[in-house]
Amino acid sequence: MALPPLDSPQWSSSWLAFGWGLRSVTQTILTLVLFATYLGIGALAHDSHFSLLWALCSTLFVWAGPAQIILITTLGSGATVIQSAIAVTVSAIRLFPMVVSVLPLMRTPTTKRRELFFAAHLTAVTLWVECHRFLPQVPRERRIAFVNGLGFGLVSVCLTANTVGYFLAANLTQTLGAAILMLTPLSFLFSTARNSREAADVVALALGVLLYPLAAKMNSGLDILVSGLVAGTIAYGVHWWREVRA
């Protein structure tokens, strides 16, 4: 499926643009990755004793895979609400520059801030990547509708995947249930590695994985925060050192 040319009557209304956004969900391999990830999140929620409604609400209102996994994993392993909230909010800071950089792509001189509300909510790494790919082919005054359609489609795919994953975890044999839970670490490890552009990103990812087991031995309840802060700061040090030398 190719998007119609910029001057085509196919862009004459917001609803048509919404429809093109919705159909674009089928045009990206990332939809498949999201499906697998949210299948895993549904299964993770089941095996961590959360309800299906809870899992669906987390997808609808949080709409950020890393934050959802951090939330389920920390709450599920007995962290307090405050500890989980801190880990989630640190993981979510990256959404700020994403929103800041993606909204100008769809803003026109007459755009009101509230018209961008859903686009801001839907912004996460997948949408951010796809906006940069698709939006140049969409007339500027139809871009908000297009993004809302694309986001609506992606959220629907993920809610479906959550439900399927939840029921599979409840009904499958232990081995297949384990396979679905394993989707989460694998898909996040590789999609984060793929998005790593700088040496600092790679160091943060590798050290973050390696330092966690050490931090967990301290048994402070803040394991994830401790290993994340230490590994992230070392990674930043590597970035800084390379900049100074360059």
- Count residues near other proteins (CB under 8 A): 110
Site for other proteins in 132-161 (CB under 8 A): none
Calpha distance 228→7 (Å, rounded): 48
State which of residues 6, 8, 156, 170 lies at the interface with other proteins (CB under 8 A): 170
Note whether 34 binds other proteins by CB under 8 A.
no
CA proximity to 143, closest of 108, 172, 114, 187: 108
State which of residues 24, 31, 68, 162 lies at the interface with other proteins (CB under 8 A): 68
Let me know: does 59 contact 155? Beta carbons within 8 Å: yes
Site for other proteins in 197-216 (CB under 8 A): 200-201, 203-213, 215-216
Site for other proteins in 80-119 (CB under 8 A): 81-82, 84-101, 103-104, 113, 116-117
Burial of 124 (0-12, 13-18, 19+ CB in 10 A): buried
Alpha-carbon Rg of the chain, whole angstroms?
Answer: 20
Q: Which two structure tokens, joined as six digits, stand for 35?
A: 């499906």
For the CB of residue 33, give the shortest distance to other proteins in the complex, in Å: 6
Note whether 47 binds other proteins by CB under 8 A.
yes
Q: Which two structure tokens, joined as six digits, stand for 192?
A: 């984060």
Note whether 26 binds other proteins by CB under 8 A.
no
For the CB of residue 202, give the shortest distance to other proteins in the complex, in Å: 9
